Structure 1
Amino acid sequence: MPRIDSVQRTDKKSAILDAAERCFARSGFHGASMSEICAEAGMSPGNLYRYFRSKEQMIEGLCERDLAAAAHGFDALATAPDLWTAFRALAHMHLVEEPRDSCAVWIETLSEVARNPQIAALRLRTDNFIHEKLLGALKIAQSRGQTAPHADLERTVQFMMTFADGLMLRRVRDEAFDPAPHLEIMFEVMRTMLLAPLLPSNDNIT
């Protein structure tokens, strides 16, 4: 029975997070009220508060769920026969296939960083996690000889994270925006950053 209760609790929390994500995407973090989230989840306030006491806790739950999925994808890179193909597929899943509502919530949390210390701390933890995983993937590529020996991996990671934030902002701002070609641009720039020491300089190109 305790195991069943645990599964049911997990399912309830997941349903609430799904409802909260839709509300945050539709109304924004401040615009979405707890009563709106209750209605979206089909739950009474008393029942919902048993799982989440605040909107900040819901944002944290959404981030933790996303990071767990991301961690699984990054871990798979370590054993992928073709790391760059796997890396490209992972980036496509998170930056192109990711539902627009999820991108909207991500951007919403960015806007809260300057005025909500709890969200700021969560975003810092999230950024550190992503930074660690991206850097780890690039170190694997470097160990396999798939980057220049002295490529600046840290600089490349910073570029990817900044580019990804901008890509998600464009998706939220413009429904007609197609992120796929821009993902290709990101990988082209990454290739230059990671392989430049191995490529001929412009002075040698005639």
Structure 2
Amino acid sequence: MPRIDDARRGDRITTILDAAERCFVRSGFHGATMAAICAEAGMSAGNLYRYFPSKEAVIEGLCERDFAEAAEGFAALEATDDTWAAFRDLAAFHLIDEPRESFAMWIEIMAEAARNPQIAALRVKADLFIEEKLRGALGMAHRRGHIAPQADIERGVQFMITFSEGLMLRRARDPDFDPVPHVDMLFDILRSLLLTPLAASNDNLT
């Protein structure tokens, strides 16, 4: 019996989060009220509030779901011998295959982080999560000998984060933007950073 209850609870949480995501994409963070999310999910307010007591809690639920999905993707890197190809496929999944509307929602949430301490805390948590996963992936590539022994992994991590956030912003604001060549560019530059020994890279900059 508890297993059935757990399954039902999981289904309801999924229903709420899917409904909330549609509302946030359609109306923005402030425009998407809890009443609208209830209506979209086909639930009463009392039922929905049992799972998520506030809009901030809904955002946290969406973030946790994204964390779980991303963690699965990074874990899959360990099961392949071609680290660079698998890494590129993972980036394509998140930066190319993801619907443009998802990036618009991300921009809304990031803007809210400047005004809302709870959302700001989630932003910090998300940043730390992504940094940790990228360091782990590049560290694994380093141990396998797929990047230069003296490569600056931290430099690669920060480059990927900065470039990816810019790409996400472009996708959100420009419906005609094609992310494919830019993801290719991301990996061309990342390879030049990490496949070239650090000393030689620094010499080329002087």
Q: How would you bin the TM-score normalised by the shorter chain?
A: over 0.9
Partner of 1:18: 18
Q: Give the letter for the 2:35 counterpart.
A: S
Partner of 1:164: 164
Partner of 2:66: 66
Q: Deviations over 1:14-67 (max 9, x none)?
A: 011001011111111111111111111111211111111111111110010011
Task: Give the Cα–Cα distance (whole angstroms) in 2 for the partners of residues 78 and 135 of structure 1.
Answer: 13
> Which 4+ runs in 1 deviate beyond 6 A?
198-201
Cα distance, 1:105 vs structure 2: 2.1
Contact between 1:134 and 1:157, CA under 8 Å: does it hold in 2? Answer: yes
Bigger mean CA offset, 37-46 vs 67-76: 37-46
Task: Give the Cα–Cα distance (whole angstroms) in 2 for the partners of residues 95 and 52 of structure 1.
Answer: 28
Contact between 2:160 and 2:186, CA under 8 Å: does it hold in 1? Answer: yes
Contact between 1:21 and 1:101, CA under 8 Å: does it hold in 2? Answer: no
Secondary structure of the 2:156 match is helix
Partner of 2:79: 79
Secondary structure of the 2:79 match is coil
Partner of 1:155: 155
Secondary structure of the 1:78 match is helix
Cα distance, 1:104 vs structure 2: 2.0
Cα distance, 1:198 vs structure 2: 7.9
How do 1:1-206 residues align onto structure 2 when only pairs under 5 Å count?
1-197=1-197
Mark the runs of 5 or more structure 2 residues left unpaired by the alignment: none
Contact between 2:135 and 2:154, CA under 8 Å: does it hold in 1? Answer: yes
Task: Give the Cα–Cα distance (whole angstroms) in 2 for the partners of residues 167 and 176 of structure 1.
Answer: 13
Cα distance, 1:100 vs structure 2: 2.1
Q: Give the letter for the 1:118 counterpart.
A: Q
**Identity of matched residues, %:** 65
User: What CA RMSD, in Å, does the superposition of the two structures yield over aligned residues?
Assistant: 1.9
Cα distance, 1:199 vs structure 2: 10
Bigger mean CA offset, 99-108 vs 125-134: 99-108
The count of corresponding residues between Structure 1 and Structure 2 is 204
- Greater fraction of residues in helix: 2
Task: Give the Cα–Cα distance (whole angstroms) in 2 for the partners of residues 124 and 69 of structure 1.
Answer: 18
Q: Deviations over 1:96-155 (max 9, x none)?
A: 111223222222221122111111111111111110110111111111222111111101
Task: Give the Cα–Cα distance (whole angstroms) in 2 for the partners of residues 83 and 74 of structure 1.
Answer: 11
Contact between 2:152 and 2:198, CA under 8 Å: does it hold in 1? Answer: no
Bigger mean CA offset, 99-108 vs 77-86: 99-108
